[in-house]
């Protein structure tokens, strides 16, 4: 093993889950005894019908025991704090200073139901950030209510529905066209909104052919929902023509800017003709990620769709910021109040720190980093890239295949993921389903990562591939340096066995 | 398609627990057949290994037989199976490979000469399809829980002809042509799926899989000639459990059933529906509670069975009385054959009578993604008709989604 590789070993706290810890009667905080007259009031607050007859089965621990337990869990968790070149997710450092900014009382201590006259500062930031996205995209208005990328795609599907309904064409326009390399949230949200999905497979140049689009477009077309560049880093140079064809048929065009990082400040949805677009503030704009909710999918659109946007929007009249509640044409809310405003503030802070020049430089750095990585990765035995005949450079991502490694050694990409984490780096993202390239990996090196970080990560992959050829058993049985070895995924797809809560676990284990 | 089953350890019964394959606590019993010449043509571009002449040409071109090496790779994954009993075909057809990984295999009754393993350059063991079939017959008689075989589509056809759906089978991929749905994604995946199945051989872990073969002569001439050959039972694929984005056999099953149901729902009342061969199209009939003919064409109208296993004349007669008709087809994997020489009852005359726009195609999205090149192929035997059928066609992959596929002759 090369001496320069990280010699990682995770902590291994062999302790039960928190629900199995503690002693009856132990408490973190003793609440003071309630006075009799107050107790009477409290009893009146809760009708008897909603009161528990037995107390909840919560673990009983001291405050320090709780803190120690969760500290241990965090020490045993590798994820997302190592070198993380997790493609399609654009992993960025979330500057700590932004935590201080959003902890300020002007944001942390206010409530969206306050009178707007008392919220002028925060409204000014939302409004100013909307101006920045208007400049980056050419769109007319933005809303920050969607709680993530899929939520923004769903917003578009609902706006598509409302738009065609307003024109009396919804009964006929039942189809949304997408591509097989667009993020699965586009087809999923279109279907959730009641549309049929028409998917275009890739053509020989790594993007769908114009002919397949023409075959898919008809008077049933409600919208095109598409990402570009796609998750393989391939940019579809015919996108303007695509938009023209869909518009000619009366459909709307939505640009999922999931992969905006490599083209920030270089491509505007408006110039390509799109009616709407979406940015993820929690990836491209350095906001923190979080599963299914605490993020922001910023949705922007052209004037003809503005009436349908979720409300409220932030407006400026005579130097005073106010809330535009819209009218009955709005699709209504997709989330509470204005969405996750702290994430908007963090994104605003990030953009202001970089400036226009800095954003352009970040985009260029991410493309350079990706192409540097490609040069080194393709030197590793058994590593190839998708569509190797294409001569143009990929943007911020490239999809690779370890098919040859698998054919030669029987080691697959899951084994390689499991072994890479033994070196303290995060495993690569593979690919969305279906796998168009066998044994795929999709690393993405954004502007966050130094050349040394990228080199270390590549060195780890090279070492694991070497092991696959020379010592496959070590790779197959990995991870070895973690608190938990291979996860046994049995039951994940079995309703009889899966358990997402402790209560379900106890119940199903008892019946098994 | 079967694949590695990563929860094999979780599924394995605890030591001392009776094996659930039968009530008498007997040991898990695996049958093994290796086609030692499978795959010999692939690395030298011969598009198959059928026939002694091709095998000789392959060896002259420097081919190294892969089947034995790949079988050993698969068998290494069986080391942890408690109480495993292996019944193997003799010599180079299985017993040698089992011995190479330290599995003591019971020999099966064998009347011919024992095929011997050979060193590189010494030629191939002189085995034939008849040997594969003879071994399969013995293993079925011995009551194996699973028949694991190493080979390609040709071997799969031979195994199918003897075994049918009486015993679950699984293929170690070693052949050149592997269009059948019986193969694991790698030798190791085959070994892991075998171990998982032997640990928990409950019937609901089995799925139907098509066995396909193609006429190698036609392929060498760059014509398509994929034929659906039959159906076998294989252990479910849960390979993608760790890929986390779905793709499990359970989901694919549900999607294809829903795709077929939607296709039938979209047909206007009174329309004649011809249901083509294959397990995918057959789901449409099973969804209506009707039987389906695996290798034939059935007909249904308004949910009623109006014809079974029809030949060209029968189809034309039905079409004569039908004001409107559609044809539901599946896709044969690998080459993407939609209409080929395998379904000759769907003749040019039948297809012309159906008219443009009558095709309804259903396929799994993974199957479409795996096509190389990424297009469907038609080869009706009528070049002008093939041209008319070419272009693009929506293929339904679920109730709500179609994929627009290119269609080429």
Q: With cut-offs at 50, 70 and 90, classify the pLDDT of residue B394.
A: very high
Question: In terms of DSSP H, where are the helices of B142-278?
Answer: 153-163, 187-199, 216-220, 249-265
**Are B105 and B86 within 8 A, CB to CB?**
yes
Residue B246 at interface with chain A, using a CB cutoff of 8 Å: yes
**Is B270 in the A-facing interface, judged by CB distances under 8 Å?**
no
The shortest C-alpha distance from A202 to chain B (Å) reads 8
pLDDT over 60 at B143, yes or no: yes
> Are the C-beta atoms of residues A120 and A317 closer than 8 Å to each other?
no
- Report the residue from A196, A406, A410 with minimal CB separation from B400: A196
pLDDT digits (tens, 9 = 90+) for B277-316: 888 898 999 999 999 887 789 999 999 999 999 999 999 9
**Cα A156 from chain centre:** 17
Q: Report the alpha-carbon distance of residue A386 to residue A169 in Å, rounded.
A: 40
Which numeric CATH code is attached to B8-243?
A: 3.40.50.10330
10 Å Cβ neighbour count for A105? 7
Instruction: Return the residue of A nearest to B369 by Cα.
Output: A436
Percent of chain B with pLDDT over 90: 39
β-sheet bridge partners, residue A254? A225, A276
pLDDT value at residue A51: 86
The residue of chain B nearest to residue A211, with distances taken between CA atoms, is: B392
| Nearest Cα residue to B375 out of B403, B343, B347 | B403
Please report residues of B whose CB lies closer than 8 A to that of A198. Answer: 394, 401-404
Using 50, 70 and 90 to split pLDDT, how confident is the model at B2?
very low
CATH topology of domain B249-408: Rossmann fold (3.40.50)
The shortest C-alpha distance from A434 to chain B (Å) reads 6
- pLDDT (tens digit, 9 = 90+) per residue, A115-158? 999 999 999 999 999 999 999 999 999 999 999 999 999 999 99
Residue B107: beta bridge partners?
B88
Is the pLDDT at A112 greater than 80? The verdict is yes
Q: How far is B148 from chain A (nearest CA, A)?
A: 18
- A200 interfaces chain B, CB cutoff of 8 Å: yes
pLDDT of A33 higher than 90: no
Task: From B403, B119, B238, B137, select the one nearest A181 (Cα to Cα).
Answer: B403
CATH code: domain of residue A240: 3.40.640.10
Average pLDDT of chain B to the nearest whole number? 79
Q: Which of A194, A382, A434 to mutate to test the interface with B (most CBs of B within 10 A)?
A: A434
Check CB contact of B372 with chain A, cutoff 8 Å.
Answer: no
Q: Which of A184, A433, A478, A484 to mutate to test the interface with B (most CBs of B within 10 A)?
A: A433
Hey, what are A479's tokens?
Answer: 């991870």
User: CB of A410 within 8 Å of any CB in chain B?
Assistant: yes
Mean pLDDT across B136-159: 93
CA A390 to chain centre: 28
* A345 in a structural domain: yes
Question: For the segment B48-89, what is each residue's pLDDT rounded down to a tens digit?
Answer: 556 666 666 555 555 556 788 889 989 998 988 888 999 999
Ramachandran quadrant class, A134 (left: phi over 0; alpha: psi -120 to 50; beta: rest): alpha
The yes-or-no verdict on residue B22 having pLDDT over 50 is no
- B251 has a chain A CB within 8 A of its CB: yes
The answer to the question of residue A248 being in a domain is: yes
- Does B359 score more than 50 pLDDT? yes
Q: Which pLDDT score is estimated for B335? A: 66
Nearest CA in chain A to B189: A410
Residue B118 has pLDDT above 60, yes or no: no
Q: Which three-class secondary structure state does DSSP give residue A384?
A: strand
- CB atoms B402 and A407 under 8 Å: no
- Counting beta carbons within 10 angstroms of the beta carbon of residue A370, is it exposed (0 to 12), middle (13 to 18) or buried (19 or more)? buried
Cα B98 from Cα B100, distance rounded (Å)? 5
Given CB atoms, is B80 within the 8 Å cutoff of chain A? no
Cα distance from N-terminal residue to C-terminal residue, chain B:
27
Q: Do domains B8-243 and B249-408 have the same CATH topology?
A: yes
Query: For residue A226, is pLDDT > 60?
Result: yes
Of all residues in chain A, the percent with pLDDT exceeding 90 is 78
In this structure, the strands spanning A141-143 and A196-200 are: unpaired
CB contacts, 8 Å: B188 with chain A: 410, 412, 476
pLDDT attached to residue B11: 34
| Within a domain: A362 | no
Phi, psi of A13 (to 5 degrees): -90, 110
Q: Report pLDDT for B121.
A: 47
Nearest-CA distance B205 → chain A (Å) = 12
B residues 286..305 contacting A (CB < 8 A): none
The domain locations on chain B are 8-243, 249-408
B66 vs A257, higher pLDDT? A257
**B70 touching chain A per CB within 8 A:** no
Partners of B190 in the beta sheet? none
| Chain A residues within an 8 Å CB radius of B9 | 488
Nearest CA in chain A to B402: A198
Identify the weakest region by mean pLDDT among A39-53, A189-203, A216-230, A458-472.
Answer: A39-53
What is the reported pLDDT for B177? 63
- The neighbour count for residue A161, using CB atoms within 10 Å, is 20
Q: Does B405 touch chain A (CB under 8 A)?
A: yes
Residue A57 has pLDDT above 70, yes or no: yes
Q: In this complex, which of A211, A410, A490 lies closest to B11 when CB atoms are compared?
A: A490
Most confident of A154-158, A332-336, A388-392, B64-68: A154-158
Which candidate, B22, B29, B364, places its Cα nearest to that of B208?
B364
**Could you tell me if A135 lies within 8 Å of chain B, comparing CB atoms?**
no
- DSSP string across A281-330: TTTTT-PPP-TTSSS-EEEEE-GGGGGGS-S-EEEEETTEEEEE---TTS
CA of B68 to nearest chain A CA: how many angstroms apart?
14
Task: Assess whether pLDDT exceeds 50 at residue B5.
Answer: no
pLDDT surpassing 70 at residue B21? no
Q: Please give the residue range of the domain that contains residue A322.
A: 118-351
Q: What is the mean pLDDT of chain A?
A: 93
Q: Is A215 on the interface with B (CB under 8 A)?
A: yes
pLDDT digits (tens, 9 = 90+) for A474-506: 999 999 999 988 877 666 767 888 888 999 999
Q: Is there a domain that residue A169 lies in?
A: yes
Number of independent structural domains in chain A: 1
Per-residue pLDDT, B10: 34
Q: Give yes or no for a contact between B4 and B186, defined as CB atoms under 8 angstroms apart.
A: yes
Which of A177, A194, A226, A493 is most worth mutating to test chain B (most B CB atoms within 10 A of its CB)?
A493
* Structure confidence at residue B293 (pLDDT): 85
Q: Would you state the pLDDT for residue A432? A: 87
Q: Name B206's bridge partners.
A: B235
% of chain A at pLDDT higher than 70? 97
The answer to whether B67 touches B124, Cβ cutoff 8 Å, is no
Please say if the pLDDT value at position A72 is more than 50.
yes
pLDDT score for A291: 61
Whether ipTM > 0.90 holds is: no
Measure the CA angle with vertex B156, ends B153 and B157; round to 5°: 90
Q: Does A434 contact B at CB distance below 8 Å?
A: yes
Distance CA B68, CA B45 (A): 20
Of B185, B242, B250, Cβ closest to residue A489? B242
Model confidence at A247: pLDDT above 80: yes
- Pick the residue from chain B with its C-alpha nearest to A190: B400
Tell me what percent of the residues of chain B surpass a pLDDT of 70.
75
- Report how many helices (DSSP H) and strands (DSSP E) chain B contains, helices first: 14, 16
Predicted pLDDT at B179: 72
In this predicted model, which residue has the larger pLDDT, B7 or A186? A186
The 10s digit of each residue's pLDDT in A286-316 is 998 876 668 999 999 999 999 999 999 999 9
The DSSP secondary structure of A36-96, one letter per residue, reads HHHHHHHHHHS-GGGS-SS-----B--HHHHHHHHHHHHHT--TTSS---BTTS------T
pLDDT of res. A2: 56
Residue B239 has pLDDT above 60, yes or no: no
Choose between A290 and A373: higher pLDDT. Answer: A373
Mean pLDDT across B178-207:
81
The confidence score (pLDDT) of residue A195 equals 98
pLDDT for A344-358, tens place per residue?
999 999 999 999 999
Any domain includes A286: yes
Interface contact B374, partner A, CB < 8 A? yes
Nearest-Cα residue of chain B relative to residue A431: B243
Read off the pLDDT of residues B320-330 as tens digits, 9 standing for 90 and up. Answer: 999 999 999 99
- Torsion angles phi and psi, residue B87, rounded to 5: -110, 120
Q: How confident is the model over A3-31, as pLDDT tens digits?
A: 589 999 999 999 999 999 999 999 998 88
Nearest by CB to residue A490, choosing from B10, B251, B401, is B10
Query: Which H or E run contains A163?
Result: helix A149-166
B402·A197 Cβ contact <8 A:
yes
pLDDT over threshold 50, residue B259 = yes
Whether pLDDT at B93 is above 60:
yes
> Who has greater pLDDT, A244 or A205?
A244
B243·A199 Cβ contact <8 A? no
Backbone phi and psi for residue A369, each to the nearest 5 degrees, phi listed first: -60, -45
Q: Looking at the complex, does the CB of residue B13 fall below 8 Å from at least one CB of chain A?
A: no
Q: Give the distance from residue A420's alpha carbon to the nearest chain B alpha carbon, in angstroms.
A: 16
Residue B346 has pLDDT above 70, yes or no: yes
Per-residue pLDDT at A331 exceeds 50: yes
User: Where residue B46 falls among pLDDT bands split at 50, 70, 90?
Assistant: low
């Amino acid at each position: 093993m090369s001496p320069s590789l990280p010699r990682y070993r995770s902590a291994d706290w062999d302790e039960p889950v928190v629900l199995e810890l503690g002693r009856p009667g132990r408490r973190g905080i003793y609440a003071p005894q309630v006075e009799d007259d107050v107790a009477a009031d409290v009893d009146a607050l809760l009708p008897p019908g909603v009161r528990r007859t037995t107390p909840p089965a919560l673990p009983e621990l001291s405050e320090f025991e709780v803190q120690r337990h969760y500290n241990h869990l965090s020490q045993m968790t590798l994820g997302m704090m190592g070198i993380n070149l997790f493609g399609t997710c654009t992993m960025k450092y979330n500057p700590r200073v932004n935590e201080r900014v959003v902890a300020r009382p002007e944001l942390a201590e206010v409530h969206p139901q306050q009178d707007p006259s008392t919220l002028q500062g925060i409204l000014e930031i939302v409004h100013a950030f909307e101006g920045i996205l208007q400049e980056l995209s050419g769109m007319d208005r933005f809303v920050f209510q969607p709680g993530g990328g899929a939520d923004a795609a769903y917003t578009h599907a609902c706006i598509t529905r409302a738009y065609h309904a307003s024109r009396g064409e919804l009964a006929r326009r039942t189809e949304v066209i997408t591509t097989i390399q667009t993020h699965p949230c586009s087809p999923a949200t279109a279907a959730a909104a009641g549309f049929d999905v028409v998917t275009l497979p890739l053509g020989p140049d790594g993007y769908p052919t114009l002919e397949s689009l023409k075959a898919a477009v008809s008077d049933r077309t409600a919208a095109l929902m598409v990402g570009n560049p796609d998750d393989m880093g391939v940019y579809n140079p015919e996108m303007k023509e695509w938009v023209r064809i869909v518009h000619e048929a009366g459909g709307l065009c939505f640009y999922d800017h999931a992969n905006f990082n490599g083209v920030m400040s270089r491509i505007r949805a408006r110039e390509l003709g799109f009616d709407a677009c979406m940015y993820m503030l929690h990836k491209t704009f350095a906001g923190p990620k979080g599963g299914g909710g605490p993020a922001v999918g910023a949705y922007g659109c052209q004037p003809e769709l503005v009436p349908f946007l979720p409300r409220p929007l932030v407006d400026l009249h005579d130097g005073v910021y106010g809330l535009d509640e819209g009218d009955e044409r709005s699709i209504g809310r997709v989330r509470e109040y204005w969405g996750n405003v702290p994430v908007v503030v963090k994104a605003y802070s990030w953009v202001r720190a970089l400036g226009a020049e800095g954003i352009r430089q970040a985009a260029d750095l991410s493309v350079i980093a990706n192409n540097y990585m490609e040069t080194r990765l393709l030197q590793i035995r058994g590593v190839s890239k998708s569509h190797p005949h294409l001569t143009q450079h990929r943007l911020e991502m490239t999809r690779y295949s370890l098919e040859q490694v698998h054919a030669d050694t029987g080691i697959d990409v899951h084994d390689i993921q499991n072994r890479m984490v033994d070196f303290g780096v995060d495993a690569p993202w593979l690919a969305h389903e279906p796998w168009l390239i066998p044994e795929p990996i999709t690393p993405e090196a954004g502007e966050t990562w130094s050349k040394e970080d990228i080199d270390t990560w590549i060195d780890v992959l090279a070492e694991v591939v070497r092991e696959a050829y020379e010592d496959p058993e070590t790779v197959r049985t990995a991870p070895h340096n973690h608190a938990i070895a291979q996860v046994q995924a049995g039951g994940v797809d079995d309703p009889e066995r899966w358990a997402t809560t402790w209560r379900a676990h106890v119940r199903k284990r008892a019946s098994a | 398609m079967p694949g590695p089953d990563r929860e094999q350890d979780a599924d394995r019964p605890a030591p001392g627990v009776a094996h659930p394959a039968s009530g008498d606590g007997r040991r898990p019993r695996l049958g093994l057949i290796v086609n030692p010449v499978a795959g010999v043509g692939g690395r030298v571009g011969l598009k198959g290994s059928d026939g002694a002449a091709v095998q000789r040409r392959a060896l002259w071109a420097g081919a190294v037989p892969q089947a034995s090496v790949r079988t050993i790779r698969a068998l290494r994954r069986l080391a942890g199976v408690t109480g495993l009993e292996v019944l193997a075909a003799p010599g180079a057809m299985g017993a040698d490979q089992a011995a190479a990984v330290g599995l003591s295999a019971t020999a099966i009754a064998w009347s011919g000469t024992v095929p011997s393993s050979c060193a590189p350059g010494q030629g191939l063991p002189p085995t034939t399809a008849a040997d594969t079939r003879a071994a399969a017959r013995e293993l079925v008689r011995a009551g194996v829980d699973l028949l694991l075989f190493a080979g390609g589509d040709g071997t799969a056809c031979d195994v199918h002809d003897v075994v049918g759906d009486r015993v679950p089978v699984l293929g170690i991929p070693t052949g050149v042509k592997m269009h059948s749905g019986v193969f694991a994604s790698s030798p190791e995946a085959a070994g892991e799926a075998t171990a998982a199945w032997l640990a928990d051989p409950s019937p609901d872990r089995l799925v139907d899989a098509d066995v396909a073969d193609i006429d190698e002569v036609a392929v060498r001439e760059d014509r398509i000639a994929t034929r659906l050959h039959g159906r076998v039972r294989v252990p479910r694929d849960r390979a993608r459990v760790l890929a986390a984005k779905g793709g499990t056999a359970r989901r694919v099953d549900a999607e294809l059933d829903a795709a077929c149901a939607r296709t039938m729902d979209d047909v206007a009342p009174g329309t004649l529906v011809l249901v083509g061969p294959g397990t995918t199209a057959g789901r449409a009939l099973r969804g209506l509670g009707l039987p389906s003919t695996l290798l034939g064409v059935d007909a249904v109208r308004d949910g009623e069975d109006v014809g079974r296993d029809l030949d060209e004349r029968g189809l034309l007669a039905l079409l004569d009385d039908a004001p409107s008709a559609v044809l539901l087809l599946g896709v044969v994997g690998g080459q993407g054959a939609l209409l080929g020489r395998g379904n000759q009852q769907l003749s040019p005359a039948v297809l012309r009578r159906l008219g443009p726009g009558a095709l309804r195609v259903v396929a799994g999205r993974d199957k479409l993604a795996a096509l190389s090149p990424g297009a469907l192929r038609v080869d009706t035997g009528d070049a002008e008709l093939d041209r008319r059928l070419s272009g693009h066609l929506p293929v339904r992959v679920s109730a709500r989604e179609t994929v627009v596929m290119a269609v080429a002759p």
